[in-house]
Amino acid sequence: MPLITRRTALRSLALSAPLAFAADKTASKSTAFALIGDRYHNSDYIRVGLGKTLGKELGLSIDFRDEVSLLTAETLRNYKLLIVFRDGMTWPDGYPDESSNAAFAHLTSPKIVSDPPLPKWGGQPNYWITPAQGKAVKDFVSNGGGALFYHNVTYISPHNEDFRDVLGAVTQQHPPIRPFKVKVVNPDHPITRGVKDFVVTDEQHFMTYQKDPKHLLLQSVNEDGQAFRDLGTSSAAGWAYDYGKGRVCYLAPGHLLVDLWNPEYEKLQKNAARWLLRQI
């Protein structure tokens, strides 16, 4: 057996360390970074939904994360596509109630009993996006990255100008879950090509769209005539455009797994990812 001295051990470690570091960097690098999940949209159904449609079926490698502090310029440097599927709030001091807990709501909201009694907590939202994070998103797309925004990201826009400029809209909130139709208003775009109108049972998100109307792809319409506040029965529901050297796409449906897996919507999502990555 060869003699192992302190010097030979250190030399061996020095030679192997760069290789180990490089292998780790290669192993962790995927095409897309997905920031997902919030109080009202649990990470699991999003991971399952996108994991099937964009991962297994389209072949994208996606790093799913739910920690908002990971949205940084350093993180995004390793990716070609950013996916954001969450709102603008975290709740570090706890929720004001358990109404957003699906398991609890399924039990018809029984009375909460605790012995010893629970302490009271604030239950106030924290609007998490920082100026540096908004700039990171803007720079990422401006420099050639793709951004696929889903559903409730319009709730991030009120709290950061850079993010709002990239996304192109700000929320006007939504009514309770109910059926509505998603209409294709530009069938000639690569994202909508071959996609038919479809119906989902979902939160119909209303928003103020702030970009050129020529970029609109989808419109949501409540065909039962149910208006939301004074905003009517219809809202912009999807768009896509070039932004600097990169590309942006927003798709509104997505509160439930059955929405994400609607066959026509799956076509849209796959087309959107491919368009953002300049594959079509």
Max CA pair span of the chain: 84
Distance CA 191, CA 218 (A): 10
pLDDT interval class at 26 (50, 70, 90): very low
Q: What pTM value is reported for the model?
A: 0.88
- Pair 199, 253: CB distance under 8 Å: no
DSSP letter at 118 equals P
For residue 140, pLDDT over 90 is answered with yes
pLDDT interval class at 8 (50, 70, 90): very low
Range in 107-121, 209-223, 231-245 with the lowest mean pLDDT: 107-121
Strands (E), the chain: 32-36, 62-65, 81-85, 89-90, 126-127, 146-150, 169-171, 178-184, 198-202, 207-209, 216-221, 234-243, 246-251
Please state, rounded to an integer, the average pLDDT across all residues of the chain. Answer: 90
CATH ID of 31-104+142-276, from 3.40.190.10, 3.40.50.880, 3.30.70.20, 3.40.640.10: 3.40.50.880
Interacting residues of 200 by C-beta distance below 8 A, sequence separation 6+: 179, 180, 182, 253, 258, 259, 262, 265
In terms of Cβ atoms closer than 10 Å to its own Cβ (0-12, 13-18, 19+), residue 12 is exposed
Per-residue pLDDT reduced to its tens digit, 229-272: 999 999 999 999 999 999 999 999 999 999 999 999 999 999 99
Instruction: Identify the residue with better confidence: 39 or 102.
Output: 39
Encoded amino acid at 52, one letter: K
pLDDT of residue 110: 79
